[in-house]
A and B are shown apart, each in its own frame.
With several copies, the nearest count.
Chain A
Amino acid sequence: MRIAVQQEPFDLGAEANAFAAGDTGSGAIVTFTGVVRDLAQGDLDVMEIEHYPGMTEKALAKIANEAKARWSLGDVLVIHRYGRLAPGDRIMMVATAARHRKDAFEAAEYLMDYLKSRAPFWKKERTADGAEWVASRDEDEDALKRW
């Protein structure tokens, strides 16, 4: 299990290959990657991600350990960036390895649902019109209810 909270970009392909190479017993590997979208139709200049150093790592490890307790997983990876990102930059990724595809998929979705609403990150979008904190969405909170 690897949890990384970092300012630097990560290489999705290199991470996916390293994750897959490290887990030879699993038949199924799922990755999810989040990319900065230009929500405001062409005028998003930068996204700033603030986090809570100290708590962030703990919160991510807790979420990952809950996934490991809940599904039969070979391995789990969580990478989440903070700082300044531009449209097209990769914000975060999770990867799960399991014997069965259902476990790998469900665990990855679980990780994402909890990362969205229970890991201490806050996004601010800066456009030509100014800067605004991204509001949490009711549907993200609702997504937790299925687990």
Chain B
Amino acid sequence: MDVLYFAWVRERIGLPKEQVETSAATVSDLVAELRAREPRYEAAFADLSALRVALDQELSDFDASLTGVREVAFFPPMTGG
């Protein structure tokens, strides 16, 4: 599965995109796996209330299932306009 990071999430983790092999059932499960990897992931995911997630380019939430999902993106609240 492709995992994308934007804005300060990208900066903290240090890359914009990576391929992740996972059997995580939900977004929260994936976040837990990533946090366990390295301190930079732990730092990026420390406060989930400051993060948003999109599944296959649609806004979603951390309880959502990853079944069939090909692309997960993590980023801070958007500041367009």
Direct contact of A and B (CB under 8 A): yes
- The count of residues in chain A whose C-beta lies closer than 8 Å to any C-beta of chain B is 27
- With known contacts A52-B4, A52-B6, A55-B73, A121–B78 Cβ distance under 8 A: yes
Bin the interface of chain B by size: 10 to 19
List of A residues within 8 angstroms of B75 by Cβ: 52, 120, 122
Kindly state whether residue A123 has any CB partner on chain B within 8 Å: yes
B80 touches A115 (CB 8 A): yes
Cα–Cα, bound, A134→B54 (Å) = 20
Instruction: Please give the distance in Å from B78's CB to the nearest CB on chain A.
Output: 6
A120 touches B78 (CB 8 A): yes
Cα–Cα, bound, A91→B6 (Å) = 19
**For chain B residues 6-59, which have a beta carbon within 8 Å of chain A?**
6-8, 10, 54, 57-59
A119 touches B54 (CB 8 A): no
A120 touches B6 (CB 8 A): yes
| Candidates A52, A55, A122; contact of B79 at CB < 8 Å | A122
Interface residues of A (CB under 8 A from B): 34, 50, 52, 54-55, 58-59, 80, 91-92, 101, 112, 115-124, 133-136, 141
